[in-house]
């Protein structure tokens, strides 16, 4: 019997009910999906600040700072222009090869950068993850936001190059904004997928450079897929895979020779919805495992 004047000890069920009542949850546990999304929204400013920190740290020690985010792909564009425009001559099937190549390279660098940085972001943020309680999806989201911050001046350069290479000013140029939004949401899902996989299997991080290089060679970055792969099954597979789709959206906004096709937008919306939905749920389901080695 319980002694008079003493309250009975709280049992486990009582403690759980009390915690729920006050909005508490298990440290390192996985919250319900709705709660998780709400927490992400409440801490969205933390994502932006973390992204800025990633961008500043990547440019630390460089006198030109973020200017390298523009100079690097331009230097690569010059190299690829010589190799594929002069030596190998893959300019066939294109009219404005400079604009065609630069647009492909800038978009490729953004997508591959999100995948590479996202894949390693959880393991590189172990100290932060083990010290603070916050939705871990903020980390790959910050990685993609950092890459987007780097892409913005590059987009301006793409427009300048397009106009200086005699591309007319057209209303289609406004389509660059929704194209970038779709690509950003797609890369969020891609980064979260890569983050969970590499966190569980760290050795797979060594495969990322090979995967991104393969993506570059099959996505029409420096050649016309329709011209070299034709309209058969191979041409369709290469043309409708995600990276090629987003590159085509950017080119159709900047280059008059690339038509704006409703089917391309439908494919882009489909890939974005599929990749983000899968990546977000896939990452969320392992929320309790991050930071535990």
pLDDT digits (tens, 9 = 90+) for 20-55: 554 545 555 688 999 999 999 999 898 888 888 887
7 lies in a domain? no
Instruction: Determine the structural domain holding residue 137 and report its residue range.
Output: 44-289
DSSP string, 64-107: TGGGHHHHHHHHHHHHHHHIIIIIS---TT-S-HHHHHHHHHHH
Q: Could you give the residue ranges of the DSSP H alpha helices within the chain?
A: 12-21, 33-42, 44-58, 68-82, 97-124, 126-131, 138-164, 176-200, 208-218, 225-229, 233-239, 242-254, 262-284
Is the pLDDT reported for residue 242 higher than 90? yes
Mean per-residue pLDDT of the chain: 84
Determine what percent of the chain is predicted with pLDDT higher than 70: 84
77 lies in a domain? yes
15-19, 108-112, 218-222, 275-279: segment of lowest average pLDDT: 15-19
153 lies in a domain? yes
Is the pLDDT reported for residue 263 higher than 90? yes
60-64, 111-115, 155-159: segment of lowest average pLDDT: 60-64
CA atoms within 13 A on the CB side of 31: 18
70 lies in a domain? yes
- The pLDDT of residue 201: 92
8 lies in a domain? no
Q: Write down the residue that tokens 């057209």 correspond to.
A: 170
Backbone angles phi, psi at 222, to 5 degrees: -125, 20
- The pLDDT of residue 22: 47
CB 109 within 8 A of CB 155: no
Is the pLDDT reported for residue 1 higher than 50? no
- The pLDDT of residue 20: 52
Is the pLDDT reported for residue 9 higher than 90? no
37 lies in a domain? no
Is the pLDDT reported for residue 183 higher than 50? yes
For range 132-148, the mean pLDDT: 92
- The pLDDT of residue 276: 98
Is the pLDDT reported for residue 19 higher than 50? no
274 lies in a domain? yes
- What is the tally of structural domains in the chain? 1
64-73, 107-116, 190-199: segment of lowest average pLDDT: 64-73
Is the pLDDT reported for residue 17 higher than 70? no
150 lies in a domain? yes
For range 265-290, the mean pLDDT: 96
- The pLDDT of residue 8: 47
The CA-based dihedral angle spanning residues 212, 215, 217, 219, taken in that order and rounded to the nearest 10 degrees: -140
């Amino acid at each position: 019997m319980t002694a008079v004047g003493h309250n009975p000890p709280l049992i486990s069920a009582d403690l759980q009910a009390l915690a729920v009542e006050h909005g508490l949850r298990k440290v390192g546990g996985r919250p319900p999906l709705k709660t998780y999304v709400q927490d992400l929204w409440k801490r969205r400013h933390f994502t932006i600040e973390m992204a800025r920190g990633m961008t500043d740290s990547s440019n630390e020690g460089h006198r030109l700072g973020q200017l390298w985010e523009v100079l690097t792909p331009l230097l690569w564009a010059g190299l690829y222009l010589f190799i594929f425009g002069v030596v190998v001559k893959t300019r066939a099937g294109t009219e404005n090869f400079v604009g065609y190549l630069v647009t492909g390279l800038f978009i490729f660098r953004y997508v591959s950068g999100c995948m590479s940085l996202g894949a390693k972001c959880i393991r590189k943020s172990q100290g932060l993850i083990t010290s603070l309680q916050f939705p871990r999806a903020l980390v790959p989201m910050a990685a993609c936001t950092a890459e987007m911050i780097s892409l913005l001046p590059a987009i301006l350069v793409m427009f300048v190059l397009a106009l200086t290479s005699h591309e007319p000013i057209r209303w289609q140029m406004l389509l660059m904004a929704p194209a970038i939004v779709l690509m950003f949401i797609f890369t969020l899902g891609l980064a979260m997928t890569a983050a969970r996989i590499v966190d569980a299997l760290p050795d797979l991080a060594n495969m990322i450079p090979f995967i991104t290089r393969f993506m570059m060679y099959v996505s029409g970055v420096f050649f016309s897929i329709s011209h070299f792969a034709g309209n058969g099954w191979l041409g369709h597979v290469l043309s409708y895979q995600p990276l090629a789709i987003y590159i085509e959206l950017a080119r159709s906004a900047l280059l008059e020779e690339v038509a704006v096709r409703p089917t391309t937008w439908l494919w882009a919306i489909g890939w974005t919805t599929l990749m983000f939905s899968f990546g977000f749920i896939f990452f969320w389901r392992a929320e309790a495992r991050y930071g535990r080695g």
